[in-house]
Amino acid sequence: MKKIVVLISGSGSNLEAIAKACQTGNIPATIELVISNQPNVKGLDRAKKFHLMSKVIEHQQYNSREEFDQALLDQILPIEPDLVILAGFMRILSSNFTDTLSGKLINIHPSLLPDYPGLNTHKQAIENGDLMHGVSVHYVNSELDGGPIITQGALKIDPSQSEAKLINRIHKIEHAVYPKVIADIAKGYITLKGDQVKFESDSNFGPNHMEFFNV
């Protein structure tokens, strides 16, 4: 069984989707630790619900980004995880952190990258009159939301819908796509070689893969 560490900052809905997939065996891995940079968030309650070990490391308690990231690494590296998953982790990570975990660190971002790195992606997509919106799962490097893309999930924007409704639809895509990617990585079907994502024939995904969702 592969070992996973999950980093969160908020509600932890992706954490729950991943934990369920591990529990059912769809992901052949165990979540060894959940780390939140914020106390008293719902994601910590979700970790408890699945009997997962969790720890709070508040970034506000550190003098620099590098000191905080080193505190994260001090907790993560002894576990020797096969994969470190950013699941709504709202911190920009230092190059030392991303370099140390290169090839083991993945993120899900709520836009069709390279469009809209950073925050407020849903608002930007609506205000710009985009026809499509979605999510991107990617390996993490030192560039903000810039690592090699594994897959994307897309939907058609309904201009009559609110931003809150669009966010809810995007979450449904996240919960469908992220566990499947993690499962393929855990099975060795997806790997990172240099800056290129490699897919085995058994993978659910492939180069330039995008799936359209009617949610």
Average pLDDT over residues 39-62: 98
Active site residues: 109
Residue 33 burial class via C-beta count within 10 angstroms: exposed 0-12, middle 13-18, buried 19 and up: buried
- For residue 164, give the 3-state DSSP assignment: helix
Q: What are 148-197's pLDDT values in tens digits?
A: 999 999 999 999 999 999 999 999 999 999 999 999 999 999 999 999 99
* 94-107 per-position pLDDT tens digit: 999 999 999 999 99
What is the per-residue pLDDT across 106-149, written as a single tens digit (0 to 9) for each?
999 999 999 999 999 999 999 999 999 999 999 999 999 999 99
Strand partners of residue 138: 107, 149
Q: Which domains does the chain have, with CATH numbers?
A: 2-212 (3.40.50.170)
1-26 pLDDT, tens digit each: 999 999 999 999 999 999 999 999 99
The set of residues, in sequence order, having a beta carbon less than 8 Å from that of 197 and lying 6+ positions away, is 139, 148, 149, 150, 190, 191, 207
CA-nearest of 85, 74, 99, 94 to 52 is 85
